[in-house]
Amino acid sequence: MKLAFPVATPDTRDETMLALRGELAGSFRLLHELGYAGAELMARAPRELDAAQLRSLAADFNLALVGVSTGQLRKEDSLQLCQLDEAERTRAVARTKEVIDFAQEIGAPQINIGTLRGHLPNSESREVAREAAAASLNELLDYAQPRGIGIALEPQNRFISNWLNSVGETLEWMARFSQPNLSLLFDAYHALFEEAPVYAALIHAFPRVSHAQVADSNRLAPGGGQVHFGELLRVLAALGYRGHVSVEVAPLPSAVEAATGAARFLLPLMEELL
């Protein structure tokens, strides 16, 4: 296992992002100096970015680009894959395809879909919206597969999303898709709210898990809450997880301090498992 941290790309504007923000070279340099092995990018309009320059920067600082998050498409541009308006849904799919193309260009293995799936209406249109999301995801999987890009679907807790909250619900919905490039992103923070116990859910989900994210119980950097990260990492290691563990935490007191604290806390635990 290796440690990663989210980095916001320059096309984003949201100052509350759970990521390092600012000049990319500075963010990559900091992660390298702290001992991180990867960066998870948070992008909004990747057509505005220089993929070749980004690849070069990551190589300069020996960082793997482990994935591209689509959350800012929802947060900043209000896009949703479950959109009932066909024109708006088409726009959401087209913008997500741009993220897939970007992931291919920078050599990232997958994109992550969390809040971009959208909010289902609490009305008779709920199932219609769910089917719209399924149609969107089906189109995106077909688009991503020949490009060698996976799509990781993230269960998110009930305070963030009104569907696909638990691992079980998400796996059940994923079963309707036959494409091999669909996987599950296991976020231990969301699992704290929805799973009892968390480790049982992780074991159940593991055959479909392609990426893991962590935060402490208070959404801050590991070490200040109630999560026993030694146990969590040992379970991941015992299951055979060899990917990156991405630290997605609130940028408090600052994103730099959060990244620093997380590395100092988690890296020694990871070294014990080597």
Secondary element (H or E) of residue 163: none
pLDDT of amino acid 274: 79
Distance CA 43, CA 75 (A): 11
pLDDT of amino acid 243: 96
Is the separation of the CB atoms in 176 and 208 below 8 Å?
no
Number of structural domains, the chain? 1
Spatial neighbors of 23 by CB under 8 A, at least 6 apart, are none
Q: What's the alpha-carbon Rg for the chain, to the nearest Å?
A: 18
- pLDDT tens for the chain, residues 1 to 274: 999 999 999 999 999 999 999 999 999 999 999 999 999 999 999 999 999 999 999 999 999 999 999 999 999 999 999 999 999 999 999 999 999 999 999 999 999 999 999 999 998 999 999 999 999 999 999 999 999 999 999 999 999 999 999 999 999 999 999 999 999 999 999 999 999 999 999 999 999 999 999 999 999 999 989 999 999 999 999 999 999 999 999 999 999 999 999 999 999 999 999 7
Q: What is the CATH number of the domain that holds 225?
A: 3.20.20.150
Is the separation of the CB atoms in 35 and 29 below 8 Å?
no
Structural domain for 97, as ranges: 2-272
pTM above 0.75, yes or no: yes
pLDDT of amino acid 224: 87
Distance CA 139, CA 123 (A): 25
Distance CA 223, CA 136 (A): 39
Spatial neighbors of 159 by CB under 8 A, at least 6 apart, are 193
DSSP strand E in the chain: where?
2-8, 38-42, 64-69, 110-113, 150-153, 182-187, 209-214, 244-247
